[in-house]
């Protein structure tokens, strides 16, 4: 190459570098966000979702984008996450959307409703059946952008101070039960109480409430419910799969460079998988310990299950009649549920039933 041609090429290269560097810098701004949660740090699995997501975001951006995770109550109360994100008190939050059904019952459908989807079905609906788009069409009304951020799997039915044998036994019971399921339970005479996780034990101990549900063995053991109520019921028909969400203020989300949006999306996706992996791995041993410490496992009777499903159908019909958002999402989820359960009946149920029956005893 002649000297003059070389200098011309080199000059273009230098100019290209000079242009590219600021462009890269602009796409990687230094940001510091705060993420508030509904969880005390002692509930390490749900709290870990925020830390897991934040760690991946920081590492993927060479620490240019840092998101600090706060426990419930450190910035705002545990059940005020959605408000704090919507009004930009913080940029992000991590919570269970059904806590906010008082704002709009549709929030419950983002999380879990009685006799709804299990956790795998939820993820299938979110990611491959238009669910995330439907969720965010609704969420933007509250200045939110939503990303799935964990799932508990099917939950337990809770801790009761006395044995529940019939539907009549539910009448008058004061029960801490999260979110939308309280509407169903109230039709059967239960008095639902909305209480944050860290406040449930003292309420149960003092007799302010007669029963409480939280999540499942691992978390319930940490919260000590077995010490004050021995009857441990299953299944938690109101939470066949409880989806947790990261909520981002929609203006803050829209202001992010596309690469940062992609990084948060990927990091949230990992956290979504990891939370359920933690629960699935830790619940079996915790259940063994609870039983060893005196917990008595009891199934809800067929009578109770059928009465609860009937009551839930009534709640859904009443709500759908007056709330178009609720009806749109519920109809989509339940049509999907019916097809999914057909498939599960063919393969998943058959396999798991055989494996459970042949589980080594002892």
pLDDT at 16 over 80: no
C-alpha distances in Å from residue 142, one per residue of 11, 18, 186, 249:
52, 42, 28, 9
Q: How many residues does the chain have?
A: 362
Residue 313, beta-bridge partner list:
none
| Shared fold status for 29-152+241-281 and 158-239+294-334 | yes
> What is the model's pLDDT at position 362?
65
Q: Is the CATH number 3.40.190.170 carried by domain 29-152+241-281? A: yes
Q: What is the pLDDT of residues 33-81, one digit of tens each?
A: 999 999 999 999 999 999 999 999 999 999 999 999 999 999 999 999 9
> What is the model's pLDDT at position 12?
45
Band (198; pLDDT cuts 50, 70, 90): confident
Q: Are 170 and 190 in contact (CB under 8 A)?
A: yes
Report the percentage of the chain scoring pLDDT > 70. Answer: 93
**Whole-prediction pTM:** 0.90
Tokens of 295: 């917990």
Band (22; pLDDT cuts 50, 70, 90): low
Q: CB count, 10 Å around CB of 182?
A: 20
Q: What is the pLDDT of residues 281-331, one digit of tens each?
A: 999 999 999 999 999 999 999 999 999 999 999 999 999 999 999 999 999
Q: Where do the structural domains in the chain lie, given as residue ranges?
A: 29-152+241-281, 158-239+294-334
pLDDT, mean of residues 216-236:
96
Q: What is the pLDDT of residues 75-124, one digit of tens each?
A: 999 999 999 999 999 999 999 999 999 999 999 999 999 999 999 999 99
Distance of CA 21 to the CA centre of its chain: 40
Band (15; pLDDT cuts 50, 70, 90): very low
CATH superfamily of 158-239+294-334: Periplasmic binding protein-like II (3.40.190.10)
* H-run or E-run covering 120: helix 119-128
Give the SS3 label for residue 264: helix
> What is the model's pLDDT at position 6?
38
> What is the model's pLDDT at position 195?
84
**With 0-12 CB in 10 A as exposed, 13-18 as middle and 19+ as buried, what is 57?**
buried
């Amino acid at each position: 190459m002649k000297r003059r041609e070389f200098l011309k090429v080199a000059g273009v290269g230098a100019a290209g570098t000079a242009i590219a560097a600021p462009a890269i810098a602009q796409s990687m701004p230094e940001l510091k966000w705060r993420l508030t949660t509904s969880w005390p740090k002692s509930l390490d699995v749900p709290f870990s979702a925020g830390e897991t997501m934040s760690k991946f975001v920081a590492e993927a951006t060479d620490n240019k984008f840092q998101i600090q995770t706060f426990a419930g109550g450190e910035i705002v109360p545990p059940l005020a996450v959605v408000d704090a994100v919507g009004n930009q008190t913080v940029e992000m939050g991590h919570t269970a959307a059904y806590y906010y059904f008082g704002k709009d019952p549709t929030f419950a459908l983002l999380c879990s409703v009685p006799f709804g989807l299990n956790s795998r079905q939820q993820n299938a609906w979110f990611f491959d059946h238009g669910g995330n788009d439907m969720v965010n069409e609704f969420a933007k009304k509250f200045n939110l952008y939503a990303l799935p951020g964990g799932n508990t799997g099917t939950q337990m039915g809770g801790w009761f101070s006395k044995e529940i044998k019939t539907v009549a036994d539910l009448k008058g019971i004061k029960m801490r039960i999260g979110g939308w399921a309280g509407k169903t339970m109230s039709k059967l005479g239960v008095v639902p109480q909305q209480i944050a996780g860290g406040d449930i034990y003292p309420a149960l101990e003092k007799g302010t409430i007669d029963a409480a549900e939280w999540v499942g063995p691992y978390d319930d053991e940490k919260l000590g419910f077995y010490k004050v109520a021995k009857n441990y019921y299953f299944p938690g028909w109101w939470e066949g799969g409880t989806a947790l969400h990261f909520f981002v203020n929609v203006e803050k989300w829209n202001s992010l460079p596309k690469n940062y949006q992609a990084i948060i999306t990927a990091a949230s996706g990992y956290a979504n998988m990891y939370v359920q992996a933690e629960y699935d791995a830790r619940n079996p041993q915790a259940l063994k310990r609870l039983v060893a410490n005196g917990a008595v496992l009891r199934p809800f009777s067929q009578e109770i299950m059928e009465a609860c499903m009937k009551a839930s159908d009534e709640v859904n019909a009443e709500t759908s009649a007056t709330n178009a958002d609720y009806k749109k999402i519920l109809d989509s989820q339940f049509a999907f549920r019916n097809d999914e359960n057909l498939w599960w009946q063919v393969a998943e149920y058959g396999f798991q039933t055989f494996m459970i029956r042949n589980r080594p005893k002892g």
